[in-house]
Chain A
Amino acid sequence: MRNFSTVFITGFKYCWRNPVSVAVLIGFPILIIFVLGNALSSFISPDYDFEPIPVAAVVETDGNFGLFLQSEEISQFLEVNFTYKENALLLLNDNNVSLVVEEKDGEIAVTRPQVARHDTQIAVSIIDSYKQVSTAMEIAIMGAADLSELSELLKILESDITVTDSPIGGRVPSAIDYYAVTMLVMILLFTGMNGLELFKKSMFSETGERVLITPVSKPALIGGLLAASTVTSYLQGMVTFVFSGVVYGVYWGERIPLVLLTLFGITLFSQAFAIFLTILLNNINAAMGAMQVSIFTMTFVAGGYTKINFGAAEKIFQYSPNSLAHTVIFGAVYGGNESKMTSDLLLLFAYGTVLFIVAFLLGRRRLA
């Protein structure tokens, strides 16, 4: 126990006095949240005062497509100017509209401006939703799909273009709220590098060899290092947590203890994962490489960078450590399914514990 505290205190000092580690683990995350949060919040935040996108339409106003463009829902998004083709192209060239849409022989075609506008893609997506509905209806009419399935499909498409408030808690996360969570989770995963650096110094370097030939017991050594890197990493995560709330106004909800517990769970997981990789690969540099690749992959599949639909694989990816942490934190902040949150939190802690135990058992021989 005495050696555990000795290793813990020294490891803690080592981490905090390492200027590169502190710069990377505090400065970098703040920068990431700042860049992503600010860049994206001005673009897709629900607080953004959304102006309908100007579109020129060469369309019969009393046809299905014409009626669709004139519908109340669509008018929230698109400001449609029904005109003839030459004038539509003139408007486009003068940058007065973001898109020209034309219906000809039952086909819908769009013309984009030569200089890209950020809202063109939104307009294209809305037009595309009409095409999908039309296609689905055609399939149904041809008898290729069951009408009940069609109605389900239409509901989905409808939800794509209908503005609704979030069903959870009456509050909608802004871009910076979303990225603060996903980036903080990713950053805490990256603090596993903290652990790797400490393990490298204290077990896999000249200094580490010197430590290994002292009478210190391996449980005290590994436990002390794990505790030091976990506490250091967690505190560094807390700096980012507080900074995001105070400086960027990120909303962390009312259940702060649950959020902090989840962040601790992901920190513990990252440290255990780092030790596991180190002992499994028996090579600190390989472990560092594997750690980086794994973190980017886990963040990607959890939608940490951008929300992606992975289809059937989604069910598996929701058990990635990032996803588990996201579920619990977003649930804690905006109101979520309590039993799902509890099981995900327990699973997150279980991952860390199991990895650590496996790593310890694997390493017993190598470190003997």
Chain B
Amino acid sequence: MLFTMKDTVKRYRALTALDHLHLAVQKGEMLGLLGPNGSGKTTTIRVLTGLTKADAGEIQLFNKNAKNGKSAITDIRRRIGVVPQDLALYETLSARENLEYFGKLYGVRGAVLKKRTDETLEVLGLTDVAGKSPKKFSGGMKRRLNIGCAIIHKPELLILDEPTVGVDPQSRNHILDFLCEINRQGTTVLYTSHYMEEVERICSRVCIMDAGRVIADGSVEELTRSVIFEETITLEVKEPAPSLPEKIKKIQGVTSCNVENRAVTVTSSAGSGNLSRILEVAAPYVILGVSAQRITLEDAFLALTGKKLREGDA
């Protein structure tokens, strides 16, 4: 395991932000951490990075514990990169100076620093504006530089706290593609976002948090299967015979079939893979269209937490 958090508790007076949290990430994973506002995502990151001390529990990163002393803490910090939720840049320094500053703080120096700075600017599409202050950047460019400052030292674990807030679609795609690329190169990624489709797109595993605990953990497919018990397929048939619903109902897993005008709506248990069988039964009729309700991570999230992900957002 790259890191583990066992039985971690963090309280802010009456509020329990982390309630005996268990979370573990393997090397090379791209883990999506989802949860409604106040679910404990940011506290998890703060505890993990040492910005906030946990009240109880055991946290290990790279098989080391912060309790092992200063050298362990320094070593852990050197191997982590963090992209905070808000922009964390020096606006009076240029993009290059920002990257170099954080690179130096992580111990990268000399020719290596110059090479990495150039590479980072290139890969984030900021080479042309390297000498300019982030004050003059668009929101997307600032976000990219914000990420750049966290990867200049090539961390083994990259933690991103909603890094695409307020970013245009083009920059967002750029960022997501970039994250997939560095993950392919071996960087483990812990990613939190309000954008479910981003998590679905890039994360190999998703943990859903609520009230300071992980309430669901698995791949997107596993999560959707675990909470959605039925799936719906709708056929548009030119002249459906009255016997058609009866024939479809005989297919194993189908729980209901209703006809209304041209629409034949079939529900069957999740994961039964009945589409081909239903189409086979309906083949003698003129089928004008087929639609299947796609079960999304959003549906799973809603079912698990009872809240929409962006609920309460301004």
Report yes or no: A207 in contact with B90, Cβ–Cβ below 8 A.
yes
Which of B80-88, B206-214, B294-302 contacts the other chain?
A: B80-88
Report yes or no: B88 in contact with A215, Cβ–Cβ below 8 A.
no
Residues of B within 8 A of A206 (CB): 84-88
A164 within 8 A of B: no
Tell me the minimal C-beta distance from B299 to chain A in angstroms.
34
Once the chains are docked, how many angstroms separate the CA of A215 from the CA of B85? 20
By beta carbon, the residue of chain A nearest B74 is A215
A200 within 8 A of B: no
B101 within 8 A of A: yes
Q: Is the interface of A mostly helix, strand, loop or mixed?
A: helix
Report yes or no: A13 in contact with B105, Cβ–Cβ below 8 A.
no
Question: What 0/1 readout, one digit per residue, does chain A (32-57) give for beta carbons within 8 Å of chain B?
Answer: 00000000000000000000000000
Report yes or no: B51 in contact with A213, Cβ–Cβ below 8 A.
yes
Residues of B within 8 A of A17 (CB): 92-93
Interface size on B, residues (CB 8 A): 28
Once the chains are docked, how many angstroms separate the CA of A211 from the CA of B88? 9
Interface residue tally on A, bucketed by range: 20 to 34
Once the chains are docked, how many angstroms separate the CA of A215 from the CA of B66? 13
B78, B87, B105, B107: the one contacting A211 at CB < 8 Å is B105
B131 within 8 A of A: no
Residues of A within 8 A of B80 (CB): 213
Once the chains are docked, how many angstroms separate the CA of A212 from the CA of B97? 18
Report yes or no: B107 in contact with A215, Cβ–Cβ below 8 A.
yes
Q: How many inter-chain contacts with C-beta < 8 Å in the A-B complex?
A: 61
Report yes or no: A14 in contact with B92, Cβ–Cβ below 8 A.
yes
Tell me the minimal C-beta distance from B232 to chain A in angstroms.
45
> Which parts of A1-26 form the interface with B (CB within 8 Å)?
2-3, 6-7, 10, 13-14, 17-18
By beta carbon, the residue of chain A nearest B92 is A17
Residues of A within 8 A of B74 (CB): 215, 217
> Which parts of A207-223 form the interface with B (CB within 8 Å)?
207, 209-217
Residues of B within 8 A of A215 (CB): 74-75, 77-78, 105-107
By beta carbon, the residue of chain A nearest B153 is A214
By beta carbon, the residue of chain B nearest A216 is B105
A112 within 8 A of B: no
A7, A201, A214: the one contacting B106 at CB < 8 Å is A214
Once the chains are docked, how many angstroms separate the CA of A348 from the CA of B47? 42
Tell me the minimal C-beta distance from B36 to chain A in angstroms.
22
By beta carbon, the residue of chain A nearest B80 is A213
Once the chains are docked, how many angstroms separate the CA of A205 from the CA of B88? 8
Once the chains are docked, how many angstroms separate the CA of A214 from the CA of B106? 6
Report yes or no: B88 in contact with A207, Cβ–Cβ below 8 A.
yes
> Which parts of B134-177 form the interface with A (CB within 8 Å)?
149-150
Residues of A within 8 A of B109 (CB): 2
A2, A201, A209, A213: the one contacting B77 at CB < 8 Å is A213
Identify the interface centre among A7, A13, A209, A214: most chain B CB within 10 Å of its CB: A214
Question: What 0/1 readout, one digit per residue, does chain B (25-56) give for beta carbons within 8 Å of chain A?
Answer: 00000000000000000000000011100000
By beta carbon, the residue of chain A nearest B86 is A206
By beta carbon, the residue of chain A nearest B150 is A210
Report yes or no: A210 in contact with B84, Cβ–Cβ below 8 A.
yes
Once the chains are docked, how many angstroms separate the CA of A70 from the CA of B86? 78
Nearest 6 pairs between A and B by C-beta?
A: A17-B92, A214-B105, A206-B88, A210-B88, A207-B88, A206-B86
Residues of chain A having any CB pair with chain B under 8 Å: 2-3, 6-7, 10, 13-14, 17-18, 201, 205-207, 209-217
Since A2-B109, A6-B101, A214-B102 are in contact, a sample of 11 more A-B pairs with Cβ atoms closer than 8 Å, ordered by chain A residue number, is A10-B93, A10-B101, A206-B84, A207-B88, A207-B89, A209-B84, A209-B88, A210-B82, A210-B84, A213-B80, A215-B107
A-B contact pairs, 12 of them (CB 8 A): A6-B101, A6-B105, A10-B101, A13-B92, A13-B93, A207-B90, A211-B105, A213-B77, A214-B102, A214-B105, A215-B77, A215-B107
